[in-house]
Amino acid sequence: MRAIFTALALSLALPMAACSRDASEDASAATIPLTISAAGKAHVFNVEVARTDEEQDRGLMFRTSLPADGGMIFPFQKPRIGSFWMKNTLIPLDMIFIRADGSIDRIAENTIPESLEPVVSGGEVSAVLELAGGTAARLGIDETAKVTWKDGK
């Protein structure tokens, strides 16, 4: 009987351990510098790059915090309408939709955690940047800003 309870306990603990390991691996992922130039000031962030479909699908899901200078960039192979949701995303985010020339198409501020409502760009974009909710307002970043990062964008 004790063996059955031990096996049951392990079967429940292993998936939970796997989830927590995945979240910590994401949090320690390699970052690249990204700069947002707004109102004569340059704001530098260290962001993760979601390059693969799997990385883009997961995004910042299950994170419980994000550094003030952190975030994630989602570059697209070719410009398209950007559409994101907040499923399994536990913290509010600012989503910055970026055109091919680095100009900002739209900023969706303080998106609602775990919402299934799509957050959509205004036009075709080449990337989407996710920052901690409230960052754009705190730093005075608006649609007149320019975004650059080391991948040449």
CATH number at residue 92: 2.60.120.1140
Find the distance separating the first CA and the last CA of the chain, reported in whole Å: 61
Q: Is the pLDDT of residue 16 over 90?
A: no
Band of residue 90 on the pLDDT scale cut at 50, 70, 90: very high
* β-sheet bridge partners, residue 35: 44, 148
For residue 35, give its domain range: 31-149
What is the total count of domains within the chain?
A: 2
Per-residue model confidence as pLDDT tens digits over 117-147: 999 999 999 999 999 999 999 999 999 999 9
Residue with structure tokens 């974009």?
A: 125
Complete DSSP assignment for 103-118? BEEEEE-SPPTT--S-
Cα separation, 76 vs 66, whole angstroms: 23
The answer to which of 21-30, 78-87, 116-125 has the lowest mean pLDDT is: 21-30
For 35-53, write each residue's pLDDT tens digit.
999 989 999 999 999 999 9
Looking at the structure, tell me whether residues 36 and 91 fall in a common domain: yes
Average the pLDDT over 8-34 and give the result. Answer: 51
pLDDT in tens, 56-67: 999 999 999 999
Is the pLDDT confidence value at 2 over 70? no
The pLDDT score that the predictor gives to residue 38 is 92
Q: Are residues 119 and 58 in the same domain?
A: yes
Q: Which two tokens stand for residue 110?
A: 């303080």
Claim to verify: residue 143 and residue 91 sit in the same structural domain: yes
Task: Please check whether residues 15 and 54 belong to one and the same domain.
Answer: no
Residues 116 and 72 in one domain: yes
Give residue 106's pLDDT: 98
| Per-residue exposure over 54-88, b if at least 16 CB sit within 10 Å of its own CB, e if not | eebebbbebbeebeebbbbbbbeeebeebebbbee
